[in-house]
A and B are shown apart, each in its own frame.
Chain A
């Protein structure tokens, strides 16, 4: 699959161009560009503070909740500009985010959480169809419909968070670390689900710290470091590259050797720590 194929004009996926984001005086993203073609799964890797969540906030229009703003650049989906739009307009355009840490409405029931997910789309019949699809994908949500969401296990909460987002019938799903804090089996289960959602036609942008899992899912990958894209390419190629293997997959040379031969930027940091 050629992930660089932009698709037919007017039907392009998500494009991010030269995006810069600030939280007051702090710059979180500098000149980030990336593309998610329609129907693709693209992943963004990076450590804590690399700017992954900031990127998703800029796309979904939730920066203002964190006193941040877009300094430069633009985000568009299907040819429509999303940067500057309200969060509800972004949702109405079919771009829906599953927040990091699941964020289910703990005091509401599973059923009510799913209804909340459909609030952006006012079409009742469409909501009923979406509900059907979500319950087929996650039968456990039907079993627990009347339970408070706060009482679900972590994996079930993640399923609910994804199901809730699907209730809005998104064309594109933004996933922020969906496997964070889950048992390995459950992480694989979530990965399978993401594959299935994508197979049903939803474009996926996946932000992950679990690089191995993310690279196995995605067609194309970007690596963010301190607010910049430092690497990008087909996921399979990145998974083979030494740097990604060493930094994000934890495979490769011996640690000490990695330190000695590795990026020089690590050394001053180390001396500072020990000084």
Chain B
């Protein structure tokens, strides 16, 4: 039971981090109808900035810089690539983002090399003991911060003019333009917010119990992709649910892997994709999605 509780809390915590990434995916898709395969590189850039600056600036300032840097890079990609590419189909733009991702990731992994970079977070490797349940402080911090940020984001999405402009554009961009909404601003804003969310996720993916930021973090980040897809690519609620489902699945399957050994090792890494496939077989548009993926 103790193990189960520990795994569950860990799963929810990592799930909340996946949800941050998936939310970014979803708002980019809603605002520009582009599936952003460059998302993992945004995450890597955010984490990299924090890793390289925390010693001189201190952790919090470095984190702020990482968030701003990833947001700026997101906005830049939108402005320099997505907006200029005058193409007919959004699937072509999705492939363009793969190109952007390869360029950015190649350069960053070259910079990182074989190192494992610490992010200088204040939580260290402390473990919180609640009864018999042991949870690393870093995971609690991830859970609390991610929940707060997601709540803030959803409130802004629902109640601010920014959110209304986003949703109006997502639903019908021509009619939104007739209301005086500037599409360029909306989509640039979406990319910037997605970048900042990804940078925050980078932080929580690279602190304890993970040793630090290394070149493999993009592969971990791609697990948020099934989270966004199974929730429904155009649903913020879906991103949230998808993130939690993937996080908990991964954690539980990974934790009980010794009892599932007949299925082979490393099942925890595969399970999220299995869950995605099963859910898509039943609901092709994802749990909360309205548009089928054929649209992509």
Contact = CB atoms under 8 A, between A and B. Distances in A.
B180 A119 contact: yes
Contacts of A107: 167, 171
A86 B182 contact: yes
Contacts of B165: 116, 119
B180 A87 contact: yes
Nearest to B160: A115
A88 B168 contact: no
B176 interface: yes
A121 B165 CA distance: 13
Contacts of B174: 62, 65, 99, 103
B181 A105 contact: no
Interface string A87-127: 11001100011010001011110001001111111000000
A119 B175 contact: no
Contact of B164 (A87, A106, A115, A120): A115
Given A115-B164, A116-B165, A119-B161, A108 B171 contact: yes
Contact of A88 (B172, B173, B182): B182
A60 interface: yes
Interface string A29-62: 0000000000000000000000000000000111
Contacts of A118: 179
Interface string B23-36: 00000000000000
B167 to A, nearest CB: 6
A128 to B, nearest CB: 14
A228 interface: no
- The listed residue with most B CB atoms (<10 A of its CB), out of A65, A86, A87, A91, is A87
Contacts of B172: 103, 105
Given A86-B182, A107-B167, A108-B168, A115 B175 contact: no
B80 interface: no
A11 to B, nearest CB: 23
A106 B290 CA distance: 13
A103 B174 CA distance: 10
A60 B168 contact: no
Contacts of A119: 161, 164-165, 168, 176, 179-181
Nearest to A113: B168
Interface string A162-203: 001100100000000000000000000000000000000000
B177 interface: yes
B178 interface: yes
Contacts of B164: 108, 112, 115-116, 119
Interface residues of A, number: 28
Contacts of A165: 178
Contacts of B179: 91, 116-120, 164, 168
Interface in B138-190: 161, 164-165, 167-168, 171-182
A119 B161 CA distance: 7
Interface residues of B, number: 17
Contacts of B175: 99, 103, 105
Contact of A62 (B161, B177, B181, B182): B177
Interface in B54-111: none
A108 B173 CA distance: 14
Given A103-B172, A115-B161, A87 B167 contact: no
Interface in B197-248: none
Given A115-B161, A115-B164, A119-B164, A62 B171 contact: no
Nearest to B182: A88
Contacts of B177: 61-62, 65, 87-88
Nearest to A107: B171
Nearest to A86: B182
Contacts of A120: 179-181
A105 B171 contact: yes
A218 B173 CA distance: 31
A168 B178 CA distance: 10
Contacts of B161: 115, 119
- The listed residue with most A CB atoms (<10 A of its CB), out of B172, B176, B178, B181, is B178
A96 B177 CA distance: 10
7 contacts: A60-B178, A61-B177, A91-B180, A106-B171, A108-B167, A108-B168, A117-B179
Given A87-B178, A105-B168, A119-B165, 6 more contacts: A65-B177, A88-B180, A105-B175, A116-B164, A116-B168, A116-B179
Interface of A: 60-62, 65, 86-88, 91-92, 96-97, 99, 103, 105-108, 112, 115-121, 164-165, 168
List the 8 closest A-B pairs by CB distance, nearest first: A120-B180, A91-B180, A87-B177, A65-B174, A103-B175, A116-B168, A88-B180, A105-B171
